[in-house]
Amino acid sequence: MPGNIAAPTPTLVMPQQLCTAFSESRNYEQLRNEYHDGTPQASQLAQASRRTWKLSRRLIASQLATLRTFWENVGGGLKPFLFYNPYEGSPVGSNYDAAGVNPTGRYVAAFRNNWMQTTGLSRTDASQLELVQLDDMDPAYAAVMGFGIHGAITTATVTVWTAFINTTGAPAIAHVWLNASDLVNTNTPYALRSDSSALTSPGTALRTLVVSCAILNPIGDVATGLASSIRIYDCYADVTYADATTGRLRPISTSMNTQGPPQFGAIADAANAIDADTDPPATYATLTRTDYDALDFYNSFQMFWN
């Protein structure tokens, strides 16, 4: 999985013996219109083809029971699951991973159509069943929305480790936000410390959470060349799942929200802010600011779970 997020392993993976029972079709989804004179007009809805798979093999009793159990476990077409296309493995079928970690030939899919079966001599036909490809699984979505074995997140506490450095007398205020909520807001330099906040509605909140770090100045203060910095050592969420399992999830991406030139805030070693670290953490990203203007423009460093 991409990033360093410690998502629970999805178990909604179609059994390997069933993956080879489906045949693949691909088509480009279009909006299509035909004028009264027969002239067609079409626009493409996607740049890549969409895959569907139909059950093309008549099943023996044990295979039918496995398929029916899996179909019921995902609520028919209610829940997405992982499907491995065996023909993308070399040799065929070698890409299958019951844990759902191997990305080769792995697709997020859902059932379409109702269950209908016709049983003949030693075999059963359920050819109405179809799998439809969905968007790729985002690991943060999987972790937050309960796509894995542990269920949805029931509690989450976000922690940010920072240090505020100001040795030049800059009119600087260290600021850390969780979305619009203050976690740090001080003009007093400090050594390494951690600040935490519990999230309400943790599944939804963590999915949309943005942690921002910035160096502000009191409006009206103007200074040039007076450096101050925030070291961002670590950022993570300690979570509890529905089955009482605990875990630690880190952001999977970072960016700069830029309002002005680099003098209003520039980041170095950004990856160190979200890497797996020691406790207390030792590596850090550095957000540095040197210019302060009357209108208080600033550039902020942001961390995302989505």
- Cα distances from 70 to residues 19, 111, 251, in angstroms, run 12, 11, 32
Strand ranges inside the chain, DSSP E: 22-27, 30-34, 40-44, 50-55, 81-84, 106-112, 118-119, 124-125, 130-133, 153-165, 173-178, 181-186, 190-198, 210-216, 223-241, 246-249, 253-257, 266-268, 285-292, 300-304
Give the tens place of pLDDT for each residue, 277-286: 999 999 999 9
pLDDT, residue 305, reads 85
Q: Is 242 in contact with 151 (CB distance < 8 Å)?
A: yes
At a CB cut-off of 8 Å and minimum separation 6, what does 136 contact? Answer: 107, 108
pLDDT, residue 24, reads 87
Give the tens place of pLDDT for each residue, 182-216: 999 999 999 999 999 999 888 778 878 999 999 99
* Residue 26: pLDDT over 90: no
The tally of CA atoms less than 13 A away on the side-chain side of residue 31 is: 3
* Residue 225: pLDDT over 70: yes
Average pLDDT over every residue of 210-238: 93
* Residue 267: pLDDT over 50: yes
* Residue 44: pLDDT over 70: no
State the CB neighbour count (10 A cutoff) for residue 1.
18
Report the alpha-carbon angle 154-160-166, nearest 5. 165
What tokens does 162 get?
């920072």
At a CB cut-off of 8 Å and minimum separation 6, what does 5 contact? Answer: 139, 140, 143, 249, 250, 251, 252, 305
Give the tens place of pLDDT for each residue, 117-135: 888 777 888 878 889 887 7
Rounded Cα–Cα distance for residues 306 and 210 (Å): 9
Give the tens place of pLDDT for each residue, 77-90: 877 888 999 989 88
Q: What is the pTM of this model?
A: 0.59
Average pLDDT over every residue of 60-66: 89
* Residue 48: pLDDT over 70: no
CA 109 to chain centre: 17
By CB atoms closer than 10 A (0-12, 13-18, 19+), residue 3 is middle
pLDDT, residue 2, reads 31
Q: Which residue has the higher pLDDT, 7 or 161?
A: 161
**Segments making up each domain of the chain, as ranges:** 16-137, 153-304
Q: Which residue has the higher pLDDT, 145 or 72?
A: 72
Mean pLDDT estimate for the chain: 84
State the CB neighbour count (10 A cutoff) for residue 81.
23
At a CB cut-off of 8 Å and minimum separation 6, what does 237 contact? Answer: 156, 157, 158, 159, 199, 206, 209, 248, 249, 250, 305
pLDDT, residue 127, reads 77
Average pLDDT over every residue of 40-49: 66
* 193 Rama sector, left if φ>0, alpha if ψ -120 to 50, beta otherwise: beta
Average pLDDT over every residue of 240-245: 81
Torsion angle of C-alpha atoms 219, 258, 269, 246, degrees rounded to 10:
90
Q: Is 168 in contact with 228 (CB distance < 8 Å)?
A: yes
* Residue 17: pLDDT over 80: yes
The pLDDT confidence band at residue 100, using thresholds 50, 70 and 90, is confident
pLDDT, residue 41, reads 78
* Residue 60: pLDDT over 60: yes
- Cα distances from 256 to residues 122, 251, 299, in angstroms, run 63, 14, 7
The pLDDT confidence band at residue 300, using thresholds 50, 70 and 90, is very high
